[in-house]
Structure 1
Amino acid sequence: MHNTARVMIDVKADVLGVVEAESRPVLAAFNKEIIGAMGGTPFRHVMVIDGNDERSIDVGLVTRDGYPIGMMRSHVDDQDEKGNPLFSRDCPVFFITTPTGNPLVVLVNHLKSKGYGSVTANNAKRRTQAERIKSIYEELIADGQENIAVIGDLNDTPESAPLMPLLTDSDLKDAFAHPAFDDGGWPGTYGLCNASNKIDYLLLSPALFERIEKGGLFRRGMWPGSRPVRWEVYEELKRKQDAGSDHAAIWVDIDI
C-alpha cells in the first residue's frame, strides 16, 4: 500500500485514472490516510461509480484542486446483443474543468481479461467493449468535445483484433506513438514490460495528442525482475510481493 501511495505521489498527476478500486469510500480513505501519511498531498476530488464486477474492482478518477469533476455518465447498464452487461466493470465518462476553464473528458476502462473463460469468448467480449467505447467517443466528438482521453487497462496488445475499433478504426492516438514519449527502454506496461505485455493505454483525441509536451512510464513501484534488474525501484521494494502494482503508471504532460 505504501508503494502504491508513493507512485501516486511521485507521478504528480493532476488527473489520475484508477483501476481496481474497491469503492469510493475505500479510495477516499486511501487518498486521505495513506497518501497523507506518506507525506503526499491528498487529491481534492475522488470518484468511483460501482460497476458490474462482483469482486468490487471498479475504475475511478482522482483529481487535484482546480480540476473539479462535473458531470459523470455511467455505462454500467449498457448491454450486449444477448442482454448481458456489456462492460466488465463500467465505462464511466468524467467531465473535468481545468484551471484555465477548458473542458477535459476522461473515459476510464478495464476491459475483459484473457483469463477466466474461452479465448474466443473473451476476445469477442473485448471487441464488443472496444466498439462501444469507440461509439461513445464519437458521440462526444459529435457533441463538440475535443479534449478526450480513453485510458486504462484494455487487457490486449496493440496489434490485437479486439482493440482494432479503438487503435485502428478511430482517430484516437496512442500516447506511446508521440515523439516526446519515453518508454524507458521497455515497450510494455505489465509484468516485466516486454512488448507482449503492453496492455495499458492513454488513447488521446487529436486535439490532446498534438499538445503533449512529454510523457513516459513510471515503474519505480513495479517489480523489476532480477536477471537483469530492468529499472530502478523504491528502496522499500525488496520482494515481488512488495510491488505497488504489476502495471506501470503511464503519464503525459499536456497544457490545456
Structure 2
Amino acid sequence: MRIASFNVENLFERAVALNQDQWTSNQGENPSRWAAGRETLEIYSKLNALLRKQTYTPADQAQIIEYLIALGLEKSDESKLVILRRNRGSLVKRPRGAPLQVVAGGRDDWIGWLELKREAVDEVATQNTARVLKEVDADIVVVVEAEHRISLCRFNEQVLERIGGRPYDHVMLVDGNDERGIDVGLMTRSLAVIDSVRSHVDDRLGKESVFSRDCPEFHLRLASGEELVVLANHLKSKGYGTPAQSNAKREAQARRVREIYEGLRKTGHAHIVIAGDFNDTPDSGPLAPLLGEGSDLKDISAHPNFDDGGRPGTYANGTKSNKIDYILFSPALFERVTAGGIDRRGVWGGKNGTLWPHFPEMTQASQAASDHAAVWADLDL
C-alpha cells in the first residue's frame, strides 16, 4: 500500500491575492508583487477580526476606514482583490465629495462580510496536479489546499481520468476554518474504505480556534481487515502575522495534534499516520511537540529506504530549510514501511525550471502543479 501527501494549492479557483499566476512570470518571481499579495491577506485578516467586534469604538472605526482604503474599497464595495458583501444594514457611507465614513456602531448593526475575489487556476497547472497524482499512484492521499469537496470530486472524476490516471473511489473533505478556501481532505482506493471522520474544527485554545484549517481524523478500514487512522494537517504558515504569533499558533497546533494522537494510542489504535503541510522544519521549536524529545512518531524521511533525490526539502527549490511536508507514523506502522520518496516533477524548480526534470507539459512557472512536492511511503499492509 502507498500513502502520499500533496499540497495541491487549490484545484480550479484560488484567491487572486494567492494566485501565483499574478505574482510570477517566465523571468521568475516578482518580489514586489508577492509582497503586495501578502500585505492584502494580512489586512484582510485584520479587518475581518475587527469587523467581528460587538462594538466599534472611534479608534476601531478609524482603523476600519484605514483598512478599507488599503484594500481599494474607498469608493466601491469591490476592488481588484476583495469584495465587501453587505446583505442588511450599513457598515459605511461614501458621501459625494466627503471622506469614507463608518456608520455601524458594531457587529449587530449590519449583516455582511469581507470576501477575497477568486479567479481560475491555469488549466495546464490543474492537469499537472493530476499528473503528479497519476505518477505517484498512491492508494491513500492526504490532499492539502483543496477548495472544497465538490472541487476535489470534480478533479478526481474529470481531470485525473482525462490525463490517464485512476480516479479514487472515496473522496472526503470537511470545510475548515480558513476563509480563503484552503482545506485538507483525503482520497482513497477501494481497498481503504473511510469508515468515519471526526473533525477538530471547533477545538479551542481560549476563545480562538486551534486549527487554521482542521485536523480531521479519518478512520479507514483496509482490505486486510486492519484499521488505519489518518490525521490530515495544514499548520499555520509563516507568511502572515508576526513571526512570534505564527510560531505560537503553529506550536499550539502541533501540541494539539500530539494530544489527539496520544488519545488514539490510549484507546487501542496502533496504526496512525499524521501527514500534510506543517509549514516548518523538523528542528524547529514549534514542531517540537510532534518531532522533538519524547515523541515516538517516525518521519518517513528517517527510513533507510527513503529517497529524497539529493534534496531534503519538499517546498520550492528543495533546500533543507524548505522541508515542510511530512508523513509521520506511529511506531507499529513505521515497522511496516518498505520505501519512501519525494516526487518533484510537478514543481518548477529554480528560476528557469532546470533544477530537476519536470513534466514536459510544464513550459513556465505558472503551469506548475504546486510549489510543493508530493511525499510518499510504501507499507506492507
- For Structure 1 versus Structure 2, the TM-score category normalised by the shorter chain is over 0.9
Runs of 4+ in 1 over 3 A off after TM superposition: none
Could you say what secondary structure the match of 1:68 adopts?
Answer: strand
1:191-210 paired onto structure 2 within 5 Å? 191-210=316-335
Maintained 8 Å contact 2:169/2:187? yes
What's 2:250 paired with?
A: 126
- Number of matched pairs: 255
1:63-78 paired onto structure 2 within 5 Å? 63-78=188-203
Aligned mates of 1:228, 1:144 — CA distance in 2: 47
1:97 equivalent in alignment to 2:221: yes
Instruction: Report the Cα offset of residue 231 of structure 1.
Output: 1.5
Could you say what secondary structure the match of 1:236 adopts?
Answer: coil
What's 1:219 paired with?
A: 344
What's 1:13 paired with?
A: 138
Maintained 8 Å contact 2:353/2:365? no
Stretches of structure 1 lacking an aligned partner (at least 5 in a row): none
1:77-156 paired onto structure 2 within 5 Å? 77-81=202-206, 83-156=207-280
User: C-alpha deviations, 1:108-134, integer Å up to 9, x for none?
Assistant: 000000011011111000000000000
What's 1:190 paired with?
A: 315
What's 1:174 paired with?
A: 299
Aligned mates of 1:187, 1:114 — CA distance in 2: 19
Aligned mates of 1:66, 1:129 — CA distance in 2: 31
Instruction: Report the Cα offset of residue 230 of structure 1.
Output: 2.2
Instruction: Report the Cα offset of residue 179 of structure 1.
Output: 0.4
Could you say what secondary structure the match of 2:362 adopts?
Answer: coil
User: C-alpha deviations, 1:79-136, integer Å up to 9, x for none?
Assistant: 112x111100000000011111111110000000001101111100000000000000
For 1:208, give the aligned amino acid: L
Of structures 1 and 2, the one with the larger relative CO (CA 8 A, separation 6+) is: 2
Could you say what secondary structure the match of 2:233 adopts?
Answer: strand
What's 1:44 paired with?
A: 169
Aligned mates of 1:228, 1:249 — CA distance in 2: 17
What's 1:60 paired with?
A: 185
Aligned mates of 1:255, 1:98 — CA distance in 2: 12
Aligned mates of 2:158, 2:352 — CA distance in 1: 36
Q: Normalization by structure 2: what TM-score?
A: 0.66
Aligned mates of 1:228, 1:67 — CA distance in 2: 36
For 1:61, give the aligned amino acid: L
- After superposition, the CA RMSD in angstroms is 1.0
User: C-alpha deviations, 1:126-176, integer Å up to 9, x for none?
Assistant: 000000000000000001001101000000011100000000131101110
What's 2:366 paired with?
A: 241
What's 1:229 paired with?
A: 354
1:252 equivalent in alignment to 2:377: yes
Stretches of structure 2 lacking an aligned partner (at least 5 in a row): 1-125
User: C-alpha deviations, 1:15-73, integer Å up to 9, x for none?
Assistant: 00000011111100010010011111210000000100011110000001121101110
For 2:273, give the aligned amino acid: A
For 2:233, give the aligned amino acid: N
